[in-house]
């Protein structure tokens, strides 16, 4: 009890002194300001788990020098200017693009240098079949950018080690945390156009991971680590 009180007092002194140091001018050293944008489409699930994006964004801020705002923004696919406010757009999927304007806008955004990361939701009510989901994304890319190609990244690609070392490859989130080989067989798919990487497709439900749905404690960390790696991959390609 007495020793606890002494420790308590020492801790108070340490905290007080530690508070002085940050106040005296040590500033954060980060790159330029950037925002996180979610692609808004006619899909009713376009903003699924968006309320938990701040967890992932704070994780990026904590572990890297990106000056990324810790809350998400929307980018309406019908408005090209909104798309072009973000270097990387996060999407639930582009299979529901129906208007000519939306397709043209997305095409133009990607041609200008934008990057699109598509992350399927692991909830089977949202994404019933991962193979069909992948086929639909591929078809849409081919439609808006004829000549684009989608290739699976090898399991030893540097994307799994460019910042965090992701042991065991792409972390998968499964419906009700039950392993499903139909999902597990998929890795990350790289979308290229005119020798430039313009996007990635994931069937691993990373957002479901950082939203912490019934997953092991470490899973959401791995999902956020994977997202950091993907973000850096997009920056460098």
Partner 1 sequence: MEWQFGGWLANWPTAVQWSVLAALFLMAVAATFLSYRSTRLSFWSLMILLSLRIFFLLGLIICLANPRRLERLANELSGHILSVVVDRSESMIITDSRGRSRLDDACRKWMLLREKAEKRFDSVRFGSFAGKYLPSQSWEDALKAKSEDKTHLYGALLEVLDATPLSGQREIVCLTDGLDTTSMATDGLVARALATHTPLWFVVGENRQRTKDFLQFREFKVPSQVLRKTTFTCIGVLEAFSAHPRQISISLWQDGRKLHDFPIELPAGPTLIPLRETISAADPGEMVLEWRVGNQNEAEVRHEVRIIDRSNLDILYYQGALDWGFRSMHTLLMRDPSYHFTAILNPRLGVNLQLKTNARKTSDGLPESVAELKKFQVVIVENLFANQLSTAQQEALRAYAEEGGALFFIIPNKEATAALENTKIAEMLPVVFESPGTENAATAKSRGIQNLHPSGSLNAGSPSTITLQPFAFPEESSLAPLLKTTDATGTPKRLTPKFATYAPIQRSKSGAEILGLHPNDREPTSNKPRILLAAQRYGKGRIAVMATDSLWRWKLSEPSDSRDVEIFWQQWIFWLAQSSVKILQFIDPPIRTIVNQTSMLTVNALVAPTLTATDPNGKALDLPAEHEPKTGYWKAAWKPECAGHWQITASDPEGRQARIFVNVDSQLTQSADLANLPSQVERLRELGEATGGGLLEHKLPEAWGAANMEKDLFPEKSFALWNSWNILLACLALYSAELLLRRRWQMI
Binding residues for partner 1, per CB under 8 A? 2, 5-6, 9-10, 13-14, 17, 20-21, 24-25, 27-35, 37, 47, 50-51, 54, 58, 64-67, 69-76, 79, 81-82, 84-87, 108-109, 111-115, 158, 161-163, 196, 232, 234-237
Beta bridge partners of 193: 196
What is the nearest approach in angstroms of partner 1 to the Cβ of residue 220? 16
DSSP 169: S
> Which is it for strands 149-152 and 88-91: parallel, antiparallel or unpaired?
unpaired
Q: Which residue lies nearer to partner 1 by CB, 64 or 124?
A: 64
Cα separation, 116 vs 111, whole angstroms: 11
What is the nearest approach in angstroms of partner 1 to the Cβ of residue 47? 7
Beta bridge partners of 34: 68
**204 contacts 122 by C-beta, under 8 angstroms:** yes
What is the nearest approach in angstroms of partner 1 to the Cβ of residue 52? 10
What is the nearest approach in angstroms of partner 1 to the Cβ of residue 20? 5
Q: Kindly give the residue spans of alpha helices, DSSP state H, lying in the chain.
A: 2-23, 53-63, 80-83, 100-111, 130-144, 181-184, 206-210, 217-236
**145 contacts 106 by C-beta, under 8 angstroms:** no
Q: Which residue lies nearer to partner 1 by CB, 96 or 164?
A: 164
What is the nearest approach in angstroms of partner 1 to the Cβ of residue 108? 6
Q: Which residue lies nearer to partner 1 by CB, 88 or 170?
A: 88
Q: Which residue lies nearer to partner 1 by CB, 50 or 175?
A: 50
Q: Which residue lies nearer to partner 1 by CB, 86 or 213?
A: 86
> Which is it for strands 115-119 and 88-91: parallel, antiparallel or unpaired?
parallel
């Amino acid at each position: 009890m007495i020793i606890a009180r002494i420790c308590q007092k020492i801790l108070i002194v340490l905290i007080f002194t530690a508070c002085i140091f940050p106040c005296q001018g040590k500033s954060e050293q980060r790159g330029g300001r950037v925002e996180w944008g979610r692609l808004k489409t006619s899909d009713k699930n376009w903003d699924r788990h968006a309320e938990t994006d701040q967890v992932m964004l704070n994780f990026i801020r904590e572990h890297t020098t990106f000056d990324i705002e810790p809350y998400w923004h929307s980018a309406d696919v019908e408005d090209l200017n909104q798309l072009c406010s973000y270097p990387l757009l996060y999407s639930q999927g582009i299979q529901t693009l129906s208007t000519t304007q939306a397709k043209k806008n997305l095409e133009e955004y990607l041609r200008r240098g934008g990057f699109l990361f598509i992350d399927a939701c692991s909830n089977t009510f949202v994404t019933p079949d991962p193979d069909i989901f992948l086929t639909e994304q591929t078809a849409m890319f081919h439609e808006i950018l004829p000549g684009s190609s989608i290739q699976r990244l090898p399991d030893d690609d540097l994307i799994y080690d460019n910042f965090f070392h992701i042991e065991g490859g792409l972390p998968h989130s499964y419906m009700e945390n039950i392993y499903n080989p139909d999902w597990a067989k998929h890795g990350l798919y790289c979308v290229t156009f005119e020798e430039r990487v313009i996007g990635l497709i994931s069937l691993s439900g990373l957002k479901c991971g950082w939203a912490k749905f019934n997953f092991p404690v470490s899973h959401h960390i791995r999902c956020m680590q994977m997202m950091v790696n993907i973000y850096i991959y997009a920056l460098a390609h």
